[in-house]
Structure 1
Amino acid sequence: HLGRGAGVYEAPRNILRLIPGVELIEMERNQRWSWCCGGGGGVPEAFPELAEWNAEDRLAEAARTGAELLLTSSSLCHRSFGQCKKPALPSQELLEFISQAI
Protein backbone atom coordinates (compact mmCIF):
# COMPACT_ATOMS: atom_id res chain seq x y z
CA HIS A 1 0.00 0.00 0.00
CA LEU A 2 1.33 3.35 -1.02
CA GLY A 3 0.49 5.17 2.21
CA ARG A 4 0.45 2.60 4.99
CA GLY A 5 3.22 0.39 3.64
CA ALA A 6 5.53 2.86 1.92
CA GLY A 7 4.71 6.07 3.78
CA VAL A 8 4.15 7.92 0.48
CA TYR A 9 1.49 10.58 0.96
CA GLU A 10 2.45 13.84 -0.71
CA ALA A 11 3.68 12.65 -4.14
CA PRO A 12 0.25 11.54 -5.43
CA ARG A 13 -1.37 14.66 -4.02
CA ASN A 14 1.20 16.83 -5.78
CA ILE A 15 0.44 15.09 -9.08
CA LEU A 16 -3.31 15.61 -8.61
CA ARG A 17 -2.75 19.32 -7.93
CA LEU A 18 -1.12 19.61 -11.36
CA ILE A 19 -4.20 18.33 -13.21
CA PRO A 20 -6.35 21.23 -14.45
CA GLY A 21 -9.86 21.25 -13.03
CA VAL A 22 -9.07 18.90 -10.16
CA GLU A 23 -9.73 20.11 -6.63
CA LEU A 24 -8.10 17.96 -3.97
CA ILE A 25 -10.37 17.64 -0.93
CA GLU A 26 -8.98 15.75 2.05
CA MET A 27 -11.07 13.50 4.24
CA GLU A 28 -11.03 14.14 7.99
CA ARG A 29 -9.01 10.98 8.62
CA ASN A 30 -6.21 11.05 6.08
CA GLN A 31 -2.61 10.07 5.52
CA ARG A 32 -1.20 8.20 8.51
CA TRP A 33 -4.47 8.68 10.41
CA SER A 34 -6.56 7.15 7.64
CA TRP A 35 -8.77 4.20 8.50
CA CYS A 36 -8.67 0.93 6.61
CA CYS A 37 -11.37 0.23 4.03
CA GLY A 38 -11.69 -3.37 5.24
CA GLY A 39 -10.77 -4.84 1.87
CA GLY A 40 -7.49 -6.56 2.73
CA GLY A 41 -5.95 -8.95 5.20
CA GLY A 42 -8.62 -11.59 4.68
CA VAL A 43 -11.23 -9.40 6.38
CA PRO A 44 -13.82 -9.73 3.57
CA GLU A 45 -13.58 -13.50 3.72
CA ALA A 46 -13.50 -13.87 7.51
CA PHE A 47 -15.71 -10.94 8.51
CA PRO A 48 -17.75 -9.77 5.50
CA GLU A 49 -20.07 -7.57 7.56
CA LEU A 50 -17.11 -5.74 9.10
CA ALA A 51 -15.49 -5.29 5.69
CA GLU A 52 -18.68 -3.80 4.27
CA TRP A 53 -19.13 -1.53 7.29
CA ASN A 54 -15.55 -0.24 6.94
CA ALA A 55 -15.97 0.44 3.22
CA GLU A 56 -19.31 2.19 3.69
CA ASP A 57 -17.86 4.26 6.56
CA ARG A 58 -14.95 5.42 4.39
CA LEU A 59 -17.27 6.28 1.50
CA ALA A 60 -19.62 8.18 3.82
CA GLU A 61 -16.69 10.14 5.25
CA ALA A 62 -15.59 11.02 1.72
CA ALA A 63 -19.13 12.05 0.76
CA ARG A 64 -19.30 14.43 3.74
CA THR A 65 -16.45 16.44 2.20
CA GLY A 66 -18.62 17.29 -0.81
CA ALA A 67 -16.28 15.46 -3.17
CA GLU A 68 -17.67 13.89 -6.34
CA LEU A 69 -15.21 10.98 -6.44
CA LEU A 70 -13.05 9.03 -3.99
CA LEU A 71 -9.60 8.19 -5.33
CA THR A 72 -7.62 5.31 -3.88
CA SER A 73 -4.18 3.93 -4.63
CA SER A 74 -5.28 0.49 -3.46
CA SER A 75 -6.98 -1.97 -5.81
CA LEU A 76 -8.29 -3.80 -2.73
CA CYS A 77 -9.96 -0.62 -1.48
CA HIS A 78 -11.41 0.08 -4.92
CA ARG A 79 -12.84 -3.45 -5.04
CA SER A 80 -14.20 -3.09 -1.50
CA PHE A 81 -15.89 0.23 -2.31
CA GLY A 82 -17.37 -1.25 -5.48
CA GLN A 83 -18.97 -4.09 -3.53
CA CYS A 84 -20.86 -1.80 -1.16
CA LYS A 85 -24.61 -2.21 -1.34
CA LYS A 86 -25.18 1.49 -0.67
CA PRO A 87 -22.12 3.44 -1.91
CA ALA A 88 -22.22 7.09 -0.85
CA LEU A 89 -20.19 8.12 -3.91
CA PRO A 90 -18.17 6.49 -6.69
CA SER A 91 -14.52 5.53 -6.35
CA GLN A 92 -11.70 5.14 -8.83
CA GLU A 93 -8.14 3.89 -8.71
CA LEU A 94 -5.62 6.73 -8.59
CA LEU A 95 -3.47 5.49 -11.49
CA GLU A 96 -6.51 5.03 -13.72
CA PHE A 97 -7.67 8.57 -12.94
CA ILE A 98 -4.24 10.07 -13.66
CA SER A 99 -3.83 8.09 -16.89
CA GLN A 100 -7.21 9.36 -18.13
CA ALA A 101 -6.26 12.94 -17.25
CA ILE A 102 -3.04 13.00 -19.29
Structure 2
Amino acid sequence: MFAVFPGCTLEKYSDDLKKPLVKVLECLGIEWIDLGGRCCGMPLLLSGDVDGFKEVVKRNIDYFKNVSVIVTSCAGCFRVFKEYYSGYVVKHLSQFILDLGISSFPRSVNLKAIYHDPCELIHCGVFEEPRELLRRIPGLNLSEFRLNRESSTCCGGGGLVKAVFPSLAVEVAYEKILRELPQDVDSIVSSCPFCYLNFKDASSIYNL
Protein backbone atom coordinates (compact mmCIF):
# COMPACT_ATOMS: atom_id res chain seq x y z
CA MET A 1 0.00 0.00 0.00
CA PHE A 2 1.22 3.48 -0.79
CA ALA A 3 0.85 6.69 1.16
CA VAL A 4 -0.20 10.11 -0.14
CA PHE A 5 1.43 13.24 1.26
CA PRO A 6 -0.68 16.26 0.20
CA GLY A 7 1.69 18.90 1.61
CA CYS A 8 1.06 22.16 3.46
CA THR A 9 0.09 24.17 0.38
CA LEU A 10 -2.77 21.89 -0.59
CA GLU A 11 -4.04 21.50 2.95
CA LYS A 12 -3.77 25.06 4.23
CA TYR A 13 -4.06 27.29 1.19
CA SER A 14 -5.65 25.37 -1.64
CA ASP A 15 -8.49 23.11 -0.59
CA ASP A 16 -9.86 23.40 -4.12
CA LEU A 17 -6.86 21.31 -5.19
CA LYS A 18 -6.91 18.71 -2.43
CA LYS A 19 -10.51 17.70 -3.11
CA PRO A 20 -9.79 16.82 -6.77
CA LEU A 21 -6.67 14.95 -5.64
CA VAL A 22 -8.75 12.78 -3.33
CA LYS A 23 -11.37 12.29 -6.04
CA VAL A 24 -8.75 11.13 -8.54
CA LEU A 25 -7.38 8.59 -6.08
CA GLU A 26 -10.88 7.34 -5.29
CA CYS A 27 -11.66 6.95 -9.00
CA LEU A 28 -8.53 4.85 -9.41
CA GLY A 29 -10.11 2.39 -6.99
CA ILE A 30 -6.97 1.62 -5.00
CA GLU A 31 -6.32 1.70 -1.29
CA TRP A 32 -4.04 4.40 0.07
CA ILE A 33 -2.93 5.96 3.34
CA ASP A 34 -3.45 9.69 3.90
CA LEU A 35 -0.37 11.33 5.42
CA GLY A 36 -2.11 14.69 5.58
CA GLY A 37 -1.72 17.24 8.34
CA ARG A 38 2.06 17.22 8.26
CA CYS A 39 4.85 19.32 6.73
CA CYS A 40 7.86 17.87 4.91
CA GLY A 41 10.03 20.52 6.58
CA MET A 42 11.04 22.45 3.48
CA PRO A 43 10.08 25.92 4.83
CA LEU A 44 12.43 25.39 7.78
CA LEU A 45 15.23 24.30 5.47
CA LEU A 46 14.76 27.31 3.20
CA SER A 47 14.76 29.69 6.16
CA GLY A 48 18.05 28.27 7.45
CA ASP A 49 16.66 26.40 10.46
CA VAL A 50 18.56 23.19 9.76
CA ASP A 51 18.08 21.79 13.27
CA GLY A 52 14.34 22.39 13.09
CA PHE A 53 14.24 20.74 9.68
CA LYS A 54 16.09 17.67 10.95
CA GLU A 55 13.63 17.37 13.83
CA VAL A 56 10.66 17.48 11.45
CA VAL A 57 12.27 14.81 9.27
CA LYS A 58 12.83 12.60 12.32
CA ARG A 59 9.23 12.98 13.51
CA ASN A 60 7.90 12.25 10.04
CA ILE A 61 10.01 9.13 9.64
CA ASP A 62 8.71 7.88 12.98
CA TYR A 63 5.16 8.58 11.78
CA PHE A 64 5.72 6.91 8.39
CA LYS A 65 6.18 3.44 9.87
CA ASN A 66 5.18 0.65 7.47
CA VAL A 67 5.18 3.10 4.55
CA SER A 68 7.45 2.24 1.63
CA VAL A 69 6.02 4.35 -1.20
CA ILE A 70 5.23 8.06 -0.81
CA VAL A 71 3.21 9.86 -3.49
CA THR A 72 2.87 13.63 -3.49
CA SER A 73 1.50 16.23 -5.89
CA CYS A 74 3.67 18.96 -4.34
CA ALA A 75 6.91 19.58 -6.25
CA GLY A 76 8.64 20.95 -3.14
CA CYS A 77 7.70 17.98 -0.97
CA PHE A 78 8.77 15.65 -3.77
CA ARG A 79 12.26 17.13 -3.87
CA VAL A 80 12.67 17.11 -0.08
CA PHE A 81 11.57 13.48 0.18
CA LYS A 82 13.89 12.47 -2.66
CA GLU A 83 16.92 14.24 -1.20
CA TYR A 84 16.49 14.03 2.58
CA TYR A 85 14.28 11.01 3.38
CA SER A 86 16.09 7.73 2.77
CA GLY A 87 14.47 4.33 2.48
CA TYR A 88 11.36 5.36 0.54
CA VAL A 89 10.24 5.11 -3.05
CA VAL A 90 9.10 8.67 -3.79
CA LYS A 91 6.86 9.51 -6.74
CA HIS A 92 5.24 12.65 -7.99
CA LEU A 93 1.53 12.12 -8.60
CA SER A 94 2.05 12.39 -12.37
CA GLN A 95 4.64 9.60 -12.26
CA PHE A 96 2.40 7.43 -10.10
CA ILE A 97 -0.62 7.72 -12.41
CA LEU A 98 1.49 6.96 -15.49
CA ASP A 99 2.98 3.93 -13.77
CA LEU A 100 -0.55 2.57 -13.32
CA GLY A 101 -0.74 2.24 -17.10
CA ILE A 102 -3.67 4.60 -17.66
CA SER A 103 -3.61 5.35 -21.39
CA SER A 104 -6.42 7.91 -21.54
CA PHE A 105 -9.16 9.58 -19.52
CA PRO A 106 -12.92 9.16 -20.05
CA ARG A 107 -13.87 12.84 -19.97
CA SER A 108 -12.93 15.14 -22.83
CA VAL A 109 -12.06 18.82 -22.46
CA ASN A 110 -11.89 21.67 -24.95
CA LEU A 111 -8.84 23.49 -23.67
CA LYS A 112 -5.61 24.95 -24.96
CA ALA A 113 -3.18 24.80 -22.06
CA ILE A 114 0.47 25.65 -21.52
CA TYR A 115 2.66 23.75 -19.06
CA HIS A 116 4.89 25.51 -16.53
CA ASP A 117 7.87 23.58 -15.14
CA PRO A 118 8.15 24.03 -11.35
CA CYS A 119 11.66 24.80 -10.12
CA GLU A 120 11.70 21.87 -7.69
CA LEU A 121 10.84 19.33 -10.38
CA ILE A 122 13.47 20.90 -12.65
CA HIS A 123 16.08 20.23 -9.94
CA CYS A 124 14.91 16.60 -9.84
CA GLY A 125 14.93 16.17 -13.62
CA VAL A 126 11.17 15.57 -13.87
CA PHE A 127 9.99 17.03 -17.17
CA GLU A 128 8.14 14.51 -19.31
CA GLU A 129 5.77 12.72 -16.93
CA PRO A 130 3.46 15.71 -16.28
CA ARG A 131 3.43 16.54 -20.00
CA GLU A 132 2.68 12.96 -21.01
CA LEU A 133 -0.19 12.81 -18.54
CA LEU A 134 -1.66 16.00 -20.00
CA ARG A 135 -1.32 14.65 -23.55
CA ARG A 136 -3.53 11.71 -22.59
CA ILE A 137 -6.47 13.99 -21.76
CA PRO A 138 -8.83 14.00 -24.77
CA GLY A 139 -9.36 17.46 -26.23
CA LEU A 140 -6.46 19.11 -24.42
CA ASN A 141 -4.11 20.98 -26.75
CA LEU A 142 -0.78 21.34 -24.96
CA SER A 143 1.73 24.06 -25.80
CA GLU A 144 4.99 25.25 -24.24
CA PHE A 145 6.46 28.42 -22.83
CA ARG A 146 9.29 29.79 -24.96
CA LEU A 147 11.64 28.91 -22.10
CA ASN A 148 10.81 25.42 -20.85
CA ARG A 149 12.23 22.36 -19.14
CA GLU A 150 15.79 23.11 -17.91
CA SER A 151 15.52 26.67 -19.24
CA SER A 152 12.17 27.44 -17.61
CA THR A 153 11.89 30.58 -15.50
CA CYS A 154 10.47 30.63 -11.97
CA CYS A 155 6.85 31.63 -11.31
CA GLY A 156 8.16 33.90 -8.55
CA GLY A 157 6.67 32.08 -5.60
CA GLY A 158 9.42 29.62 -4.69
CA GLY A 159 12.12 29.80 -2.04
CA LEU A 160 9.76 31.42 0.50
CA VAL A 161 9.52 34.53 -1.73
CA LYS A 162 5.72 34.42 -1.72
CA ALA A 163 5.67 34.13 2.07
CA VAL A 164 8.15 36.95 2.69
CA PHE A 165 7.64 39.19 -0.35
CA PRO A 166 4.13 38.37 -1.67
CA SER A 167 3.89 41.44 -3.91
CA LEU A 168 7.20 40.63 -5.57
CA ALA A 169 6.16 37.02 -6.12
CA VAL A 170 2.96 38.05 -7.89
CA GLU A 171 4.83 40.66 -9.94
CA VAL A 172 7.28 38.02 -11.19
CA ALA A 173 4.39 35.76 -12.21
CA TYR A 174 2.71 38.66 -13.99
CA GLU A 175 5.90 39.52 -15.88
CA LYS A 176 6.30 35.90 -16.96
CA ILE A 177 2.74 35.86 -18.27
CA LEU A 178 3.26 39.10 -20.21
CA ARG A 179 6.66 38.06 -21.57
CA GLU A 180 6.12 34.40 -22.43
CA LEU A 181 2.43 33.46 -22.58
CA PRO A 182 0.90 33.10 -26.07
CA GLN A 183 -2.36 35.02 -26.45
CA ASP A 184 -4.38 32.01 -27.59
CA VAL A 185 -3.78 29.94 -24.43
CA ASP A 186 -6.76 29.28 -22.15
CA SER A 187 -4.97 28.05 -19.06
CA ILE A 188 -1.58 27.66 -17.37
CA VAL A 189 -1.04 24.17 -15.96
CA SER A 190 1.64 23.24 -13.44
CA SER A 191 2.53 20.23 -11.32
CA CYS A 192 3.20 22.43 -8.29
CA PRO A 193 0.38 23.83 -6.11
CA PHE A 194 2.53 26.81 -5.12
CA CYS A 195 3.01 27.79 -8.77
CA TYR A 196 -0.74 27.38 -9.24
CA LEU A 197 -1.48 29.74 -6.35
CA ASN A 198 0.99 32.37 -7.50
CA PHE A 199 -0.26 32.39 -11.09
CA LYS A 200 -3.83 32.46 -9.80
CA ASP A 201 -3.08 35.45 -7.57
CA ALA A 202 -1.34 37.27 -10.44
CA SER A 203 -4.29 36.61 -12.72
CA SER A 204 -6.73 37.93 -10.11
CA ILE A 205 -4.73 41.00 -9.06
CA TYR A 206 -3.89 42.08 -12.60
CA ASN A 207 -7.29 41.08 -14.08
CA LEU A 208 -5.78 38.74 -16.64
Q: TM tier, shorter chain?
A: 0.7 to 0.9
1:50 corresponds to 2:50:
no
Larger Rg: 2
Within 5 A, what are the aligned runs for 1:18-57?
Answer: 18-57=136-175
Note the residue ranges of structure 2 that are not aligned, 5 or more in a row.
Answer: 1-74, 76-119
Query: Which of 64, 67, 80 is equivalent to 2:185?
Result: 67
Question: How far 1:79 sits from its partner (Å)?
Answer: 1.0
Greater relative contact order (CA < 8 Å, ≥ 6 in sequence):
1
Query: What are the Cα deviations for residues 17-57 of structure 1, in whole angstroms up to 9, with x where unaligned?
Result: 12111111111011111111111212123333321221112
3-state SS, counterpart of residue 16 of structure 1: helix
Structure 2 letter corresponding to 1:71: V
- Residue 135 of structure 2 corresponds to 17
Q: Which one has a larger percent strand, Structure 1 or Structure 2?
A: 2
Aligned equivalents of 1:23, 1:38: Cα separation in 2: 25
- Residue 83 of structure 1 corresponds to 201
3-state SS, counterpart of residue 189 of structure 2: strand
Aligned equivalents of 2:160, 2:131: Cα separation in 1: 29
State the identity %: 34
Aligned equivalents of 2:143, 2:207: Cα separation in 1: 18
Query: What are the Cα deviations for residues 55-77 of structure 1, in whole angstroms up to 9, with x where unaligned?
Result: 11233322x25210000111111
Question: How far 1:10 sits from its partner (Å)?
Answer: 1.1
Note the residue ranges of structure 1 that are not aligned, 5 or more in a row.
Answer: 89-102
Relative to the length of structure 2, the TM-score reads 0.38
Superposed CA RMSD: 1.8
Within 5 A, what are the aligned runs for 1:90-101?
Answer: none
Aligned equivalents of 2:131, 2:137: Cα separation in 1: 10
3-state SS, counterpart of residue 140 of structure 2: coil
Question: How far 1:87 sits from its partner (Å)?
Answer: 4.9
Question: How far 1:86 sits from its partner (Å)?
Answer: 1.1
Length, aligned pairs only: 87
